[in-house]
Homo-oligomer: A and B are copies of this chain.
Amino acid sequence: MAEEMRELRDRLIEKVQKIRDAKVPILVLVEGWAAAGKGSLIKELISELDPRFYNVVSPAVIPESQMRYPFLYPYATAIPENGKVIFLDSGWMESCVRKITRHEITRDEYRRRVRQVNEFERQLRDAGYIVLKLFLNIDRKEQKARLAELMENPDTEWRVTEEDLWQQREYKRFQAGYEQFMEETREAAPWHVLDGDKRKTAVAAALKLLNEAMEKTLEEGKYNGDPFEEEFPLKPMPKLAEVDLSPSIGDEEYKKELKKLQGRLSELHNIIYRKKIPVVICYEGWDAAGKGGNIRRVAYPLDPRGFDVMPIASPEPHELARQYLWRFWTRLPRTGHITIFDRTWYGRVMVERLEGFCTEKDWKRAYNEINEFERQLTDWGAVVLKFWIHIDQDTQLARFTDRQNTPEKQWKITEEDWRNREKWPQYETAVNEMLQKTSTENAPWFIIESNDKKYARIKALKIIVKALEKACEEQIGREMEG
């Protein structure tokens, strides 16, 4: 045994270095019964690893009532960067099974979570992550003995929670719950059940599985998943070329409407905040289409304590080193808050596609991944609105020229803008494809005609006001029922 362990550990140390060079990220999820020894197992796995290459994460146990983010948030924000290993001490399994068993979530919510887990695991796998899922199993008697032992020692007594004792009493129901969950979540990454009774055997088995997973990836190369399309209910969208860009608005009417809509939005922001509805507003559009000015008119009536504008520039190294949605997960609003994204995750299917910053498989997969991501947001209760701020090529040229010729506007125009302009036809193709494939019923696109910027601002404000009114109405309705 000791010799086998030595050999397994040596293999692990050697492999981790190769994995680092191959820039493969690894997520090891350790789930299992209370007192099954998850912490000790992780301790054994990391004991000889170089601390620069791994991290142990124990998602803080936050009461559901205080968790002001989507269900997957603690896990999606904790994913490792390329070449590093994350050990997760309990995660999405515990969060699903414990809650359904204790009647803290509805059956419907449980089913949504299972679906989200499958989406999450597949997205990680397709982005080249190794996802290793371990379940540490002990029987009812063994658990009872271990809990008793922990409680006898004043230094470890605090580790045993009310919920652990409840699990011991309801062992059979939990068992059924764990089994069902494992059955339902094996699509992208299989489960491995380890015998927690025999600590050394469990460690050896985990080391072996980890070694094998790494060896397989090193042999076959980093995985890059094939595009995959689930059917989402889509809103039909026109081609950009078909959009009539002539709508405009008079100065008088603009001022009147602007005042009215901003006043209403300010009221709605108060209700949104009280009702804890999260709001995500996405801005994409041609350079010089008027995104900045449009965003300012929306932001003006909002209480600065309750919203953020997130400008999205090119990813930084630590962002590039993780699955591409990570930098958006970490920028989500809390419930009751509004985040306005000035450019978004759709960079994947526009600039990254056209400039070759990702593989063809990457951007082709992204339509579906993004639809899933946005559904996870609306499942959580978020209002998700997406604006394409649209102008024609002549208008862009006029605005570029104006910027070039006006000293205080020159900083707004760069060589890159002119280069992008040359690629207008390629961008138009990409944008059309994006609008067709990602305008879901739950997170629709709106084309905002912006040859007249004032018209565009009023249109965007109207859409936001209407969507927030609807969301508040629905929330108040739910409160009356419940």
Measured CB to CB, the residues of A under 8 A from B are 13-14, 17, 21, 39, 42-43, 46-48, 50-52, 55-56, 58, 87, 89, 155-156, 158, 267, 270-271, 274, 292, 295-296, 299-300, 302-305, 307-309, 311, 316-318, 340, 342, 408, 411
Quick one: which of B39, B156, B307 contacts A305, CB cutoff 8 A? B39
Contact A292 to B51, CB < 8 A, known contacts A158-B274, A304-B39 = yes
Residues of B within 8 A of A156 (CB): 270
Task: Please provide the 7 A-B residue pairs with the shortest distance between their CB atoms, ordered closest to farther.
Answer: A51-B309, A52-B311, A56-B304, A58-B305, A155-B270, A42-B304, A47-B300
Q: Indicate which residue in B43, B305, B318 contacts A56 across the interface (CB closer than 8 Å).
A: B305
Residues in B with CB closer than 8 Å to A158 are 274
Nearest CB on B from A262, distance (A): 11
Q: How many copies does the complex hold?
A: 2
Q: Which residues of the partner chain B approach A318 to less than 8 Å between Cβ atoms?
A: 316, 318
Q: Is B271 touching A52 in the complex (CB atoms < 8 A)?
A: no
Contact: B311 with A87, CB < 8 Å? no
Q: Give the shortest distance, in Å, between A353 (CB) and chain B (any CB).
A: 23
- Contact A43 to B270, CB < 8 A, known contacts A51-B299, A52-B342, A296-B51: no
Contact (Cβ within 8 A) B408 A14: yes
Are A89 and B305 in touch, CB under 8 angstroms? yes
Question: Shortest beta-carbon distance, A236 to chain B, in Å?
Answer: 32
B304 touches A87 (CB 8 A): yes
In the bound complex, residues from chain B placing their C-beta under 8 Å from that of A51 are 292, 295-296, 299, 309, 311, 340, 342
Residues of chain B with a CB closer than 8 A to A316's CB = 316-318
* Bound-complex Cα distance A17 to B56 (A): 42
Complex CA distance for A158 and B276, rounded to whole angstroms:
13
Are the CB atoms of A304 and B155 closer together than 8 Å? no
- Interface contact B89-A56, CB-CB below 8 Å: no
Known: A270-B155, A316-B316, A316-B318. A56 touches B311 (CB 8 A): no
Contact B52 A303 (CB under 8 A): no
Q: Which residue of B lies closest to A50 (CB)?
A: B292
CA distance A300 to B295 in the complex (A): 51
CB nearest to A308 among chain B residues: B55
Say how far A86's CB is from chain B's closest CB, in angstroms.
Answer: 11
Across the interface, which residues of B come within 8 angstroms of A46, CB to CB? Answer: 299, 304
| 15 intermolecular pairs with C-beta atoms under 8 Å apart | A39-B305, A43-B300, A43-B302, A43-B303, A46-B299, A47-B300, A51-B295, A51-B296, A51-B309, A51-B342, A56-B308, A155-B270, A155-B271, A316-B318, A318-B318
Query: Which residues in B have their C-beta under 8 angstroms from that of A308?
Result: 55-56
* Bound Cα distance A156, B266 (Å): 11
Q: Which residues of B contact A267 (CB under 8 A)?
A: 155
Q: Give chain B residues whose Cβ lies under 8 Å from the Cβ of A13.
A: 408
Residue among B43, B274, B296, B342 making CB contact with A304, cutoff 8 Å: B43
Per the bound structure, the CA–CA distance linking A378 and B466 in Å amounts to: 52
Given A311-B52, A340-B51, A303 contacting B155 (CB threshold 8 A)? no
CB distance from A123 to the nearest CB of B (A): 24
Residue of B nearest to A17 (CB): B411
Query: Closest approach, in angstroms, between the C-beta of A323 and any C-beta of chain B?
Result: 18
Out of B89, B271, B296, B303, which one reaches A39, CB within 8 Å? B303
Question: Complex: how many Å from CA A317 to CA B295?
Answer: 27
